[in-house]
A and B are shown apart, each in its own frame.
Chain A
């Protein structure tokens, strides 16, 4: 938790008050100790002074007693001894009182001076140690010479004491009074001091209680803040952590980080260690430099967000169910400032997978819308019949692709054979779509082609490798359906545009029965026969390249194809051209071996005939052997072996117009689908025409299609 300014001030005040009170307490104790010491000395001095007050009288009295005893010639030894003791005690105690240093009063000084004056008169008395009496039988006890001197000294001392004892006593009494006053003063000071001490102690105790309360309150607030921080870090969906100057993660981070990175050991982890297995080394190096910029003073944080190399990071992680999932993370970096500058860098990691996917969907949706618009525009330039034919062919081709995908395969060779078949088929559809400028279809097929190309590069293949193709294939088929639907609407639109003026001119008011627009479309719009030539040349070139064949396409009379036959003629020619390129025209090597021209010839001629039109398609290739056709028909279970054996050449040749027939066992891009000549035949029959084939093995194959002069009765299937 961060301390606010108020909290910090409160703590400082508390600490200051506590310190001051502690110092006051210390001072009180110290001064109190001094006063107590002084008081003890004062009391001792007072006791001494009080005791000393009695001594002057005692000395006077004892001198009188000594004098009396000397006068009475009584035993004076004890009296002298008492006096001596009193004088010695008084002298010692008075000097001790002076020596303590606590007493510096005038009374003591005067007492000392006076006592010094006592000295000359009393000292001879107390120092007497002779015999005061002389005993004789006659006179009894009389004073000896020393005794007389002694008696005189006692007398003089008594007189002196009598004169001065009162003064000395007054001085000592005054001294005692002074000492008592000092002691009382010290006691009063000590009381005051103790009161202050008690008060300070109370204040200190109160401060301690307040401080403890405040601290408890702050600790509670800190705990609450910690709990809240923990709750935030546990709940927030972004991953938060701090990086120090060595790019190491701090000890606190949000729980979301654990989910994002699938680990918990973040403390002390370097940024590089966090990302090294998730991002390319070059990106990581740039990111590290980027963070280093944040530690510098020069770069403006707000002006470098657009160059953040981790602004949208794609990572692949375990999904916890044994699989992998792709996520998009966004790293955002912020400086954390302290009083001394940049303290740390806060890193916020957001999971923006939903946003990225949504943006992609929007983009795809936009692309689709654009593609549909492009497709509409492209379709407006494509002959509807041609478009329908292409869509039929493309759908058939894609279904074939689907069949190839579903074919069981185990060995690598089988998988690679699949790839070859897929590639050729897709490439064919793409080429046709491109030829018709249907770019949205071409680009989708191209995506599938790319997948196949990538798979071809793989060292080992498995069935799972083909799964992405299935999804893309479904998308493409859906797209083809939408194109078909669009084509229908477009045709209806065109029809409506054309029908309006026609209706206005019509004499019969009743409207004509409504037919499905797609069914009527081929009859409504003129087709461009001149488009046939470049389309067929382009197709021939592609087929030759794909099949490794060399042949020349000769076209004649196609400009005369009536508009209502253009689509059918084109579809027929495309199919027949494919057949020639795959089955008919031999490879250059074979042609050389057969002493034929290196470059084969495929010729197409359209011309008017007596009862209509005639289309002749011929190649100088290998021709068709009836036995080969029979064997293929048997293999495909179109006929039994007996039936095949019974067939004559004409019937055998007619096999190629039967649905599902193909001589090609393998699958190739341009033939072998079993959907070849039967479609051509059906188209021709639908127009009321006829189709025939003649061939000579090793020399040629010729198809002759006869079409009636009038308009066809129905559209081509």
Chain B
């Protein structure tokens, strides 16, 4: 399965990349905003996406809508520090499969990805 990481924080992108322990997940690329994410998605056709919500140019919610429109079976895990639950629920309504709060431990991340791939 192919993995794409979307987060405007370079540190967070590297953190997710290093922490995930699934051999069957091949990282096809990372994006720092929604626009980059869409371009990368079209090029690499990932199966699993971790998605930040608050990002420049295009936020996560809009990006999720577009990704799901492009590939309905894509699995999206929102990884965000957002405190506003209404926005988090909106992200799920747009098609995200799950939500992981920042900050998170490696174990929490891997359990969430495992649940996502189930």
Contact = CB atoms under 8 A, between A and B. Distances in A.
Interface of A: 282, 285-286, 289-290, 292-293, 298-300, 302-304, 306-309
Given A289-B93, A293-B92, A293-B93, A303 B99 contact: yes
B89 interface: yes
The residue in A290, A292, A299, A300 that gathers the most chain B C-beta atoms within 10 A of its C-beta is A300
Interface of B: 77, 85-86, 88-90, 92-93, 95-101, 112, 115-116, 118
Contacts of B115: 300, 302-303
Contacts of A289: 89-90, 93
B57 to A, nearest CB: 24
A304 B92 contact: yes
Given A298-B95, A298-B97, A303 B89 contact: no
Nearest to B112: A303
A303 B98 contact: yes
A298 B93 CA distance: 9
B86 A299 contact: no
Contacts of B99: 303-304, 306-307
A292 B89 CA distance: 10
B94 to A, nearest CB: 10
Given A298-B95, A308-B85, 7 more contacts: A292-B93, A298-B97, A300-B98, A306-B100, A307-B89, A309-B86, A309-B89
B98 A299 contact: yes
A282 B95 contact: no
Contacts of A306: 99-101
Contacts of B90: 289
A303 B116 contact: yes
Contacts of B92: 290, 293, 299, 304, 307
Nearest 3 pairs between A and B by C-beta?
A303-B98, A307-B88, A309-B85
The residue in B77, B88, B100, B118 that gathers the most chain A C-beta atoms within 10 A of its C-beta is B88
Contact of A286 (B77, B85, B101, B116): B85
Contact of A300 (B88, B89, B95, B116): B116
B73 to A, nearest CB: 10
Contacts of A309: 85-86, 89
The residue in B89, B90, B112 that gathers the most chain A C-beta atoms within 10 A of its C-beta is B89
Contacts of B112: 303
A65 to B, nearest CB: 111
Contacts of B95: 298
Contacts of B93: 289, 292-293
A525 to B, nearest CB: 45
Nearest to B95: A298
B89 A286 contact: yes
Contacts of A307: 85, 88-89, 92, 99
A303 B108 CA distance: 10
The residue in A285, A303, A308 that gathers the most chain B C-beta atoms within 10 A of its C-beta is A303
A306 B93 CA distance: 15
Nearest to B91: A307
A549 B59 CA distance: 53
Contacts of A282: 86
B113 to A, nearest CB: 10
A229 B66 CA distance: 47
Nearest to B97: A300
Nearest to A292: B93
Nearest to B90: A289
Nearest to A300: B98
Nearest to A307: B88
